[in-house]
Amino acid sequence: MSLQQEVIERLGVKPEIDPEAEVRKRVDFLKEHVRKSGTTGLLIAISGGIDSAVTTGLCKKATDELSAETGREYMTLGVFQPYGEQADIADSYAVAEAFNLKYRVETNIEEAVNEIALEVEHGFKSIGMPRHLSRGGKGNVKARTRMVMQYALAFDLNLLVVGTDHASEAITGFFTKWGDGAVDITPLSTLNKRQVRLLASHLGVPKSVLDKAPTAGLWEGQTDEGELGITYDANSDYLEGKAIDDEAREKLEKQYLKTYHKRDPIPGI
């Protein structure tokens, strides 16, 4: 078995999908886990990007159906998490409007992140290695702080925290898991980026979101494709079993092998 075949089998990506059937399957998956966990709904952080927009649509359908079926209210809580001023936060709110979210919270992470960075820099100084926290290090603090806030909300409201991770992120290790702050459930996990876009069109995600370059918002101007040097088209082609440019394939496979620890269970002995 080639490494490409191994990756596809492990991540569970299909070469083609029916968007309507995939939406139904993933909504049912969310409903099942809400019931099994005894929780009262779902929490989704809405970044203004396509992945969180699609996940928001799935969550809202799931909780609306649960409410209708049981006669009790199930909540989808949309959380907006800017670091200071977020230039595209209007897209986050547009997603909430598109899916008619009743419950919305904005938690600005700037002050908390800056305090953490300051304490880390005091730590560097205390061991004789004075320095500023690196751009990448601070970007990761932003991601983890967002997860801390999501879980603080979810705990008291009895919600499952929903992740937006999918196969095109898992193959590169560019997703939120383990050391980055785990989530409870990932309804997009067997889709590649192209397939997420198909679900977005089917669900009615706002055009302003559909047209955006994918970014984790770790720092100003950061984009996934720019950071990794791999296009999502090549990434999606690879996961659909197609041949791609040798240079892109080598980069993708190198990244996959380097980030195995983000997909595997936490090792123990």
Q: Give a yes or no: residue 241 inside a domain.
A: yes
Q: Is 121 a catalytic residue?
A: no
- In sequence order, the β-bridge partners of residue 79 are 45, 105
Q: Examine the pLDDT at 73 and tell me if it is beyond 90.
A: yes
Closest CA to 240 of 252, 225, 228, 229: 252
pTM assigned to the model: 0.91
| Annotated active-site residue in 22, 165, 169, 224 | 169
Q: Give a yes or no: residue 152 inside a domain.
A: yes
Q: What's the domain count of the chain?
A: 1
The pLDDT value given to residue 173 = 82
Q: Examine the pLDDT at 194 and tell me if it is beyond 60.
A: yes
Q: What are phi and psi of 45, to 5 degrees?
A: -80, 125
Q: Examine the pLDDT at 176 and tell me if it is beyond 70.
A: no
The pLDDT value given to residue 221 = 57
Q: Which range marks the domain in which residue 58 is found?
A: 3-109+146-262
Q: Give a yes or no: residue 138 inside a domain.
A: no
Q: How far apart are CA 156 and CA 37, in angstroms?
A: 15
Q: Give a yes or no: residue 205 inside a domain.
A: yes
Q: Say which amino acid occupies 222.
A: Q
| Annotated active-site residue in 22, 51, 224, 237 | 51
Q: Give a yes or no: residue 128 inside a domain.
A: no
Q: Is the dihedral of CA 189, 40, 49, 28 positive or negative?
A: positive
Q: Examine the pLDDT at 100 and tell me if it is beyond 70.
A: yes
The pLDDT value given to residue 67 = 98
How do residues 228-267 score in pLDDT, each as one tens digit? 778 889 999 999 999 999 999 999 999 999 988 888 877 8
Q: Give a yes or no: residue 139 inside a domain.
A: no
Q: How far apart are CA 196 and CA 31, in angstroms?
A: 20
How do residues 144-160 score in pLDDT, each as one tens digit? 999 999 999 999 999 99
Q: Give a yes or no: residue 269 inside a domain.
A: no
Q: Give a yes or no: residue 119 inside a domain.
A: no
Q: Is 169 a catalytic residue?
A: yes
Q: Residue holding tokens 């904005």?
A: 106
Supply angle C-alpha 62, 63, 65, rounded to 5: 70
> What's the CATH number where 210 sits?
3.40.50.620
How do residues 113-128 score in pLDDT, each as one tens digit? 999 999 999 999 999 9
